[in-house]
C-alpha cells in the first residue's frame, strides 16, 4: 500500500469579515462583541467570549498591561457583570492577545500589551488592516485569478 502524503496549505495571512447591522445604542461591551464578530476574532454562537472582555480591558487601560494584569481585570469585569468565568485561564488570555496582535490591534513590548501605538481603532483599521493587511490578501487572490486565465 502506498502511503499518501497530503500537503498542508497553510495561509500566510487570513482575515474573516462579516457584515452586521449598523451600530446602534448598544452597550460598549456589545459594540466590542460585534466588532470581534465582524473581524473573525469571535465566531457566531461562541459562548466563550473572553476575547471581548480582553479587548475591552485593553481599550479602557491607560497604560500597557502584562498578561497577568489583563487576566485579573478580565476576571474582575466578568464577575462584576455576572458573566460566566469561561476562557479566563492564563494560556487562553495569552492566545487571545496573540490573535489580536496578528490583526495589528494590539502590540507587545517588554511583555506588556496595549492597543497598537495607543492609536484610535479607526486609524488602526484604516492603516494596518484595510490598507496593508486586506490589500495584500486581495492582491494575492487577484494573482490566483490572473494565473487561471
pLDDT means over runs of 10, the chain (149 residues):
72 91 92 96 90 96 96 96 92 96 96 96 95 94 94
pLDDT of residue 45: 87
Q: In the chain, which ranges are E strands?
A: 106-109, 112-115
pLDDT at 6: 66
Q: Cell 490598507 sits at which residue? A: 131
H or E segment at 145?
helix 135-147
92 exposure class (CB count in 10 Å sphere: 0-12, 13-18, 19+): middle
Task: Reduce the DSSP state of residue 67 to 3 states and report it.
Answer: helix
Pairwise CA distance, residues 70 & 88, whole Å: 10
Residue 47 backbone dihedrals phi, psi, to 5 degrees: -90, -25
CB 77 within 8 Å of CB 54? no
Of the candidates 95, 56, 89, 85, the residue with the CA atom closest to the CA atom of residue 71: 89
| Predicted pLDDT at 11 | 86
Query: Are the CB atoms for 100 and 36 separated by under 8 Å?
Result: no
pLDDT of residue 149: 83
Q: What is the pLDDT of residue 48?
A: 84
pLDDT for res 7: 64
pLDDT at 47: 79
Residues β-bridged to residue 113: 65, 108
Nearest one of 91, 85, 79 to 50, comparing CA atoms: 85
Amino acid at each position: 500500500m502506498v502511503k499518501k502524503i497530503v500537503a498542508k496549505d497553510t495561509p500566510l495571512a487570513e482575515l474573516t469579515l462579516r457584515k452586521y447591522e449598523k451600530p446602534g445604542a448598544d452597550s460598549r461591551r456589545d459594540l466590542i462583541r460585534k466588532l470581534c464578530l465582524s473581524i473573525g476574532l469571535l465566531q457566531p454562537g461562541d459562548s466563550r467570549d473572553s476575547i471581548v472582555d480582553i479587548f475591552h480591558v485593553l481599550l479602557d487601560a491607560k497604560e500597557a498591561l502584562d498578561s497577568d494584569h489583563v487576566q485579573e481585570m478580565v476576571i474582575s469585569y466578568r464577575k462584576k457583570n455576572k458573566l460566566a468565568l469561561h476562557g479566563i485561564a492564563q494560556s487562553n488570555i495569552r492566545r487571545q492577545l496573540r490573535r489580536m496582535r496578528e490583526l495589528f490591534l494590539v502590540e507587545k513590548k517588554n511583555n506588556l500589551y496595549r492597543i497598537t501605538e495607543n492609536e484610535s481603532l479607526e486609524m488602526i483599521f484604516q492603516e494596518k488592516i484595510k490598507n496593508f493587511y486586506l490589500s495584500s490578501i486581495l492582491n494575492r487572490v487577484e494573482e490566483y485569478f490572473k494565473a487561471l486565465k
